[in-house]
Amino acid sequence: MTTSPPAACVAQTFLPPDDPLRATLHNEVHARPTASVRLPALIVNVAVLNAGVTREQECAHLRLLPGQQALSPERLQGNFLRLPCGGFTVKWERHTEFTRYSIVQDLPASALLGATEPELTSALVVTPEWLRGLPGRTVAAVQLAMLHGDLSDEVALMAQAQQWFGGRTVVASQLGHGHSWALTEFQIGADGFERMLVITTPQTSETRAGRMSQRLLELEIYRLMALRGLPVAKQLAPMLAESESALAEITVRLENKSVSDQQLLDTLISLAAHVESATAEHNYRFSATRAYDVLVSQRLAELNEKQIVGTQTLGEFMQRRLSPAMATVAATAQRLASLSERISRTSALLRTRVDIATEAQNQLLLEKLTRGQELQLRLQATVEGLSIAAISYYVISLLLYGGKAAKAAGAPINPEIAAGALIPLVLWAVWYTTRRIHEKLHVGH
């Protein structure tokens, strides 16, 4: 009897070799599996900024948990880890900018419906020292209580929920098809935690409870991470106004030609460097804000909220305050990009004017050189004329001396008359010879 090979072997037999990233990309969908949460439960979620924090530091802190003394840094390379600690679970997730720690434990009986602002911090299964020692800086901290309740009487349920929050006003939504309620007040308590309450029917499965908790907690973390771009936008506002004013002044001076081009160019270069420095420093923050805002919208859509009479939904409350902040960040990012483009256009315009001025200067220089060459040619022609006369003078002088020598030898000749008669011929010969030399030189060039 033969046995069929495993699926992996069949794939290796009938498929080409795997791309090195195939398994990694395929398993990415399982990188952060949703936990199963048994109700009633308390989930303590703390997100800390991990800039400058190594995985080794986080691993060393996780080793302080019960039963995790042998935890190795290699297990933290996948950015996700769920650690059973005997009676409770700790989930570790490392993201680009923050690391998230989630502690899932039983909800104390004193915190069930009917309680008035129950004390939750003292019921934590981890020590305050362990929480305080988390490597990084806190960006979000939420205590999420999940329990069963009767959803049929909305008025009575809302009264119990408000009592659970100490009688304060809450924001609430029905989730899904009304199978659960989610309530919060979006306030940081004296212990540093926000509080959320999820009330669901006994028929709600553990996996559905896990998905709800994950979406609600991620919603709050991503909201706060998105808002990190708002202080940056506010900080840049005075600089942008000053830079825009400086650019407008440069443009006016460029139009009026009231300042030298070199001075304008130096001022423009300084302004461009200032703006590009701000762009390089804050562009990542603005891009991250857009990405986190998209995630917030996705998580809200996944909650599939419905309104509870008399209250705002979580999405309405959040977007009413988040949307103006995101609009401010987007406007600042666009304003910074637009300013950079305008500086580039002004710089191109100034360079064009400088190039035109340089060409004009070069033209004047060429005209001066041309006039100099013309003068040089005239001078050369004058010198050549004098040279012809001088050469002719020396030739006639030689002929005169030759005639005198011939007369002294007895020849019947008058040297002076002969020399005077030969003057036109000598002049013509010297002129003709000089012209032929010039023609040969021009042909050679």
CATH number at residue 278: 1.20.58
For residues 332 and 292, membership in a common domain is answered with: yes
Q: For position 3, what pLDDT does the model report?
A: 46
For the chain, residues with pLDDT lower than 70 are 1-13, 29-32, 258-259, 380-386, 441-445
For residues 348 and 431, membership in a common domain is answered with: no
Q: For position 258, what pLDDT does the model report?
A: 65
Q: For position 2, what pLDDT does the model report?
A: 44
Q: For position 126, what pLDDT does the model report?
A: 95
For residues 98 and 74, membership in a common domain is answered with: yes
For residues 218 and 241, membership in a common domain is answered with: no
For residues 222 and 241, membership in a common domain is answered with: no
Q: Which domain holds residue 294?
A: 229-355
Q: For position 222, what pLDDT does the model report?
A: 96
118 contacts 239 by C-beta, under 8 angstroms = no
17 alpha-carbon distance from chain centroid: 37
Tell me, yes or no, whether 256 lies in a domain: yes
To the nearest 10°, the Cα dihedral for 416, 418, 424, 430? -90
Hey, what amino acid is at 232?
A: V
For residues 319 and 402, membership in a common domain is answered with: no
Q: What is the 3-state secondary structure (H, E, C) of 126-188?
A: CCHHHHHCCCCEEEEEEEEEEEECCCCCHHHHHHHHHHHCCCCCCEEEEECCCCEEEEECCCC
Q: For position 211, what pLDDT does the model report?
A: 92
Please classify residue 295 by burial: count the beta carbons closer than 10 Å to its beta carbon, then call 0-12 exposed, 13-18 middle and 19+ buried: middle
Q: For position 6, what pLDDT does the model report?
A: 47
For residues 54 and 194, membership in a common domain is answered with: yes
For residues 104 and 248, membership in a common domain is answered with: no
Tell me, yes or no, whether 165 lies in a domain: yes
For residues 130 and 218, membership in a common domain is answered with: yes
Number of domains the chain contains: 3
